[in-house]
Structure 1
Amino acid sequence: MEALVQVTGIAAPMMRINVDTDQIIPALFLGGTDAKGYGKHLFAGWRFLADGSPNPEFILNQEPYTRAQILLADRNFGCGSSRERAPKALREFGFRAIIAPSFGGIFLNNCYRNGIAPVELPIEQVRAIADEVQASGGLGEVTVDLREKRVVSPEGRRFAFDAPETLRQMLLQGVDEIALTLARMPEIGAYREADKTRRPWAYPPIG
């Protein structure tokens, strides 16, 4: 998994509510077992017209948002199914962070496991950031700092956010749950040795 400590870049204000995982990556493009190749189909129903040409009205087809690394969204982003290819498609497209008031629970967890920071801020703060981005013509950069747990707007305003600590550490270090646990083997070993004294009956001889 890719580590992420901080990302600074263009933020696309796609302020839509209840964006579900089928809108993020339509079921039509889920065939096969390959874990790659989904980015080109991200938001396919919105990015492309019926003839397959890019929809000029969709924000991710407009400059400078074609180069966005941060997505600004409205409430309940990533709701619907547990489709892990949704965050995979977002990551392949280039996104490293999504800022929204709330996320679908499974989607939020899948983001952390696919190199994306899902940041929850009150809707008023998300809208304020989106307003600053639009006022700058899209060129005002936004920073998401996962280590400091803060977002910095184009005008320098700072917004604190919270994050599940285990998931945050996984993304900061670029590891999964198993690797994160194994990194604490000295502590686990010390606990076991102390526990053997307290509860010797729980450690019967082997063999």
Structure 2
Amino acid sequence: MEPLRTHQGLVCPLNRTNVDTDQIIPKQFLKRIERTGFGQFLFYHWRFDDNGKPRPDFPLNDSKYKNASILVAGENFGCGSSREHAPWAVQDFGFKVIIAPSYADIFKNNCVKNGILAIQVSEEHVQMILKKAESEKYTLTVNLEEQIVYDNEGFEIKFGIAPYPKQMLLNGWDEISVTLSYEEKIKQYELKPNLAN
């Protein structure tokens, strides 16, 4: 995974609460065995009508948000089943950061494991960002090292993140990478005489 330290990106507003994983990536698209290719199905039933035509009123279909890399949504984002395909679809579509007032715990943990920063801020701040992004092309900068989100108009907020997921994202590590960072210690342990004999 790529390290995520500072990211500047266009904001796409998704002014909905309780967005569950079946809306993020519907079950009929979970047949792929690799992690890529799910972005085309992100929010499929919201993005497309029954004939497969893009719905003009959905933000991801608006050219104003083309190449957006920061998704802002309402509370309880990622609720529902624990499918890891949900963050895969979010990431494959091009989002690197999600900002919401709250998340389902499993979804948030899956984001970290896949290199997505899920930032939790107050409902008030989310509503302010949503309104700005709905009315204009709005860009935010996220500094993970300093744990701040800011724009070029004086807006700035701090966000919290536990040390372990922060280090994983800063270094671009997944859990296998973390294990491999102890490779020398593992080898030394394996070379020790078996005390059980």
TM-score normalized with structure 1 length = 0.85
Give the secondary structure class of the aligned counterpart of 1:64. helix
Q: Could you tell me how far apart the structure 1 residues matched to 2:67 and 2:32 are? A: 28
How many Å apart are 1:7 and its aligned residue? 1.3
- Per the alignment, residue 58 of structure 1 pairs with 58
Q: Which is further off, 1-10 or 89-98? A: 1-10
TM-score of the aligned structures, taking structure 2 as reference length: 0.89
Supply the distance in 2 between the matched residues of 1:185 and 1:50 (Cα, whole angstroms): 51
Q: How does 1:18-33 map to 2 (within 5 A)?
A: 18-33=18-33
Secondary structure in structure 2 of the residue aligned to 1:142: strand
**Residues 155 and 133 of structure 1: is their aligned pair in 2 closer, same or farther, counting only changes over 3 Å?**
farther
> Aligned equivalents of 1:153 and 1:14: distance in 2?
19
Alignment of 1:7-46 (within 5 A): 7-46=7-46
Shift in Å, 1:32: 3.5
Q: Is 2:101 the counterpart of 1:101?
A: yes
Is the 2:4–2:144 contact (alpha carbons within 8 Å) kept by the matching residues of 1? yes
Distance in 1, Cα, partners of 2:87 & 2:70: 13
Where does residue 2 of structure 2 map in the other structure?
A: 2
What does residue 198 of structure 1 align with?
Answer: none
Structure 2 unaligned regions, length at least 5: none
- 1:23–1:43 contact (8 Å) kept in structure 2: yes
Question: How far apart are residue 169 of structure 1 and its match?
Answer: 0.6
Equivalents in 1 of 2:168, 2:176: separation in Å? 10
2:166 aligns with 168
Which residue identity does 2:54 align to in structure 1?
P
Residue 157 of structure 2 corresponds to 159
Within a 5 Å distance, the mapping from 1:65-84 to structure 2 comes to 65-84=65-84
Q: CA shift at 1:180, angstroms?
A: 2.7
Q: Which residue of 2 aligns with 1:200?
A: none
Match of 1:115?
115
Q: Distance in 2 between matches of 1:178 and 1:24?
A: 26
How far apart are 1:5 and its partner, in Å?
1.0
Tell me by how many angstroms 1:53 deviates.
Answer: 1.1
Q: If you compute each CA radius of gyration, which structure gives the higher value, 1 or 2?
A: 1
- The amino acid of 1:3's aligned partner reads P
Q: How many residues align?
A: 192
How far the C-alpha of 1:204 sits from its partner, in A, is 7.3
SS in 1 for 2:56: coil
Cα distance, 1:176 vs structure 2: 2.1
Please report the RMSD computed on the Cα atoms of aligned residues, expressed in angstroms: 2.1
Verify the 8 A CA contact 2:147 2:159 in the aligned structure 1. yes
Q: Deviations over 1:44-74 (max 9, x none)?
A: 0010111111111100100221221000100
CA distance in 1, matches of 2:79, 2:53: 27
Q: Distance in 1 between matches of 2:87 and 2:55?
A: 22
Distance 1:163-1:48 versus aligned 2 partners, 3 A rule:
same
TM-superposed CA distance for 1:178, in Å, is 4.1
CA contact (8 A) 1:132 1:153 kept: no
Amino acid at match of 2:91: R
> Which stretch shows the higher mean deviation, 149-158 or 61-70?
149-158
Question: For the residues of structure 2 that align with 1:15 and 1:82, how far apart are their CA atoms?
Answer: 22
One-letter code of the match for 1:83? Answer: R
Check conservation: 2:114, 2:174, Cα contact below 8 A.
no
